[in-house]
Amino acid sequence: MPNENTIKNISKQALLRLPYYLSYLKKIEENEFISAPRIALDLGLNDVQVRKDLAAVSSCGGKPKIGYEIRLLICDIEKFLGYDNVDEAILVGVGKLGSALLHYDGFKDYGIEIVAAFDNDEFLTNNDFKDKKPVFSMDKLKDLCQRMKIHIGIITVPSINAQEVCNNLVSSGILAILNFSGAHLSVPPNVIVQNENIASSLAVLSSHLRKSLEDQNN
């Protein structure tokens, strides 16, 4: 029987799929039940995979011949992903991308709130909390992270500065880093880095495109 209290073993790949299920389920929230084969068909996945993934997060499982209760499943996934208790994060590097993320409302939906940003450029720093998020100079980083017990850091600095910033974050108590710089970051084993690398994505696209155009010529 499914157990509400223990965190089930879930593969990293399955974890990456959970937000897809969530976004899909929210689109069809007005219905009551959904079956694994139906989800699989709509999302282009295998139905056994869907059942396995859902088994890892579902509090009650599905019912044969009926499927899973949609609203319950949404709650279960949100709970599993920690979207129910908002976590605070800080951002380093207020360039174009950093600024866009800083003012992006959507993070709240994922259980993350950026409470402050940091940058070396004095022109960007501001200490008034009016409607904008505050931007501090780098030397305030450690103190703020430690006092506010922040565990999540977002890096949007140029790749050349990324490792230095990363070291700064780690020594300030950050345990999870979302890395938008293309650089590889070395961190202690207790810290996790998730790379959001546009370059890698483009590499896949570009390679596919070339093969497509080549095939056309054969």
Residues that bind its own copies (CB under 8 A): 7, 10, 12, 15-20, 22-24, 27, 42-44, 80-83, 87, 96-97, 99-101, 103-104, 106-107, 109-112, 151-152, 159-160, 175-178, 182-184, 186, 190, 192, 194, 196-214
Contact, 156 vs 197, CB < 8 A? no
Q: Residue 81 carries which side chain, given as an amino acid letter?
A: L
Residues 3-22 that bind DNA (CB under 7 A): 11-14
62 binds DNA (CB under 7 A): yes
* CB nearer to DNA: pick between 9 and 217: 9
Main-chain phi, psi angles of 166, to 5 degrees: -60, -50
Nearer to its own copies, 43 or 115 (CB): 43
Which residue lies nearer to DNA by CB, 68 or 80? Answer: 68
Cα radius of gyration rounded to whole Å, the chain = 21
If the CB atoms of residues 33 and 110 are measured against its own copies, the closer one turns out to be 110
Q: Does 49 bind DNA (CB under 7 A)?
A: yes
Q: Using CB distances below 5 to 8 A depending on partner kind, what does residue 28 bind out of DNA, its own copies, none?
A: none
The entry of DNA, its own copies, none near residue 124 (CB within 5 to 8 angstroms by kind) is none
Residues 87-106 within binding reach of DNA (CB under 7 A): none
Q: How far is the CB of 70 from DNA (least distance, A)?
A: 11
Contact between 170 and 191 under an 8 Å Cβ cutoff? The reply is yes
d(CA 7, CA 138): 37
DSSP element (H, E) containing 99 = helix 96-102
Contact between 75 and 82 under an 8 Å Cβ cutoff? The reply is: no
How far apart (Å, rounded) are the C-alpha atoms in residues 138 and 144? Answer: 10
Token readout for 53 is: 């993934």
